[in-house]
Amino acid sequence: MSFAFSLTRRPHNATQHNATHQQRPHRGHPHGRVDLHRRRRPDGPPAAAGASLGSRGRRARASRAAARRLRRPAARRASRSHPHDNKKNQTRKPTPHTRTHDKQELYAFLQVQAVSELVVDRSPPNELLKITFNVSFPALSCEFATLDVSDELGTKRMNLTKTVRKSPIDLLLQRVGAHFTDEDASTQKAAPKYDSEDTWYEHVDVALPLSRATFDDTLAHYPIVVVNFYAPWCHWCQRLEPAWDAATAEVHGRYPDKADGRIRYAKVDCTAETELCRQHFITAFPSLRVFRRGHDDLVVQGMHEHEAYTGDRTKDALVAFADSLVPSAGSPHTKHALLMAAPRTAGCNMAGFVMVKKVPGTLHFTARAEGHSFDHAWMNLTHAVHALHFGARPTPRKLRALERLHPAGLQADWLDKMQGSAFFSDHAQHTHEHWLSVVLTSVVPLRGGPAARYDAYEYSAVSNTFVSDSTPSARFSYGISPIQVVVREAPRHWYRFLTTTCAIVGGVYTVAGMLDGVAYTGWKIARKVELGKAS
């Protein structure tokens, strides 16, 4: 007799079935449990013992698998069905991942890409580079502050004045006087003339140099006093000494104290009266100052400055100068032709620009004047850099293009690395050296033509302060890199966009098909294993 399996439902209060038969709750039905029962089929011949056991096992496994399928909810059975079962009736839609890649590729195609390359500098031959600067020296007088420019080709330009503006400042770097402009180099006066070194004037009775105790009394007694601030070690002071003493004797003879007393020549030894000379901002020797009514004020555009003599330093020239001053005695605001405005404060701001060749060079800020000597112990080259950059500043349009195309992005100080820097002299003979390494980055936009192109000069700065045996100075040395960075805008070609898009779409579908095949194979293996666990 053969065996078959039937599904019967028992209520919850029914007697438990034999322990050898498993009972599982029906997940989709709330009224009872489902048991598996064997019953004899009334028809059919009895099977052999061995055949009956094998057939019975197979039928039992198949029946239990069918029962498990029936116990699953309909939604779960639908989810377990594989897409390959109804592949002909399905239409596959693009996945969100595919659509995202398509959008990204379209956006990239619509954007203009930047292409960077390194080339040897392609600037026109002998092209000049503009260097713009604005530096303040709170302890360097505009009367002697100079800017020299030199380069590796041997070019040397001394005391530039055409494109440099000097303004007197105080210790707080605030402007306190009118702009101090030197004369044009082509019309600038030559160095002052001296009497021959062999000339010596006899029978000269010269008064003693003024001291701090007699200085103010002398200025108060005479309407005009011309004072020679000198240093015995100064070469130019030594050359001036005989002519000055002779002129002093002649002027006092022409305008004696009792009969006239309108003018007096005097001198001050700055090595003996250091504080007195510093009080009057004497930084170079000899310095010839004109005092009227006890002070050397010269009011220019509401700013107070000094009166300094700049003429020849011969006896005849000094006597003629005294004769020209006498008629103006008692007139504090009269300016003589041989007088110049000397800054009343010791500070100077130097601003402007220079045009240089694209070779290593140096901007040299120091104190220099024809016919003057400087005491290094009195010099202080402390300075603050307000601006120092190469090339022209970009227009707003070019700046936006540079920000968009720069390979590494623009930093806040990309144009001027030294802006806002201050360097202090802790020693009397400190010299400040700054090394600037300059790199050219050329931006070539896709539209706008040559007018839209912009050359951006960026630089790195390294500074050092040391004690020098020569005249203290502030040097800005620069080197131009021979390598140029060129950044171009280049559009993407349509065929590359089409090829890339097709590759992305095809790749996504290929990977999706591979994953689908792996999932289907795994599902089949899991199903076989699931059926095999019941044996």
Catalytic residues, by residue number, are 234
- Residue 209: how many other CB atoms lie within 10 Å: 17
190 three-state secondary structure: coil
Query: Can you tell me the distance from the alpha carbon of 339 to that of 332, in angstroms, rounded to the nearest whole number?
Result: 13
The answer to whether 230 and 286 are in contact (CB under 8 A) is yes
What number of residues does the chain have?
535
Amino acid (1-letter code) at residue 527: R
DSSP H or E segment with residue 278: helix 274-279
**Cα distances (angstroms) measured from residue 459 to each of 60, 409, 413:** 87, 15, 10
Query: Can you tell me the distance from the alpha carbon of 132 to that of 151, in angstroms, rounded to the nearest whole number?
Result: 17
Amino acid (1-letter code) at residue 357: K
Amino acid (1-letter code) at residue 381: L
The answer to whether 340 and 308 are in contact (CB under 8 A) is yes
Whether residue 286 is preceded by a cis peptide bond, meaning omega within 30 degrees of 0, is yes
Sequential DSSP letters for 434-474: EEEEEEEEEEE-SSSGGGG-EEEEEEEEEEEEEE-SS---E
In Å, the largest CA–CA distance within the chain is 170
Query: Can you tell me the distance from the alpha carbon of 118 to that of 172, in angstroms, rounded to the nearest whole number?
Result: 45
- Residue 90: how many other CB atoms lie within 10 Å: 10
Give the residues across from 96 on adjacent strands. none
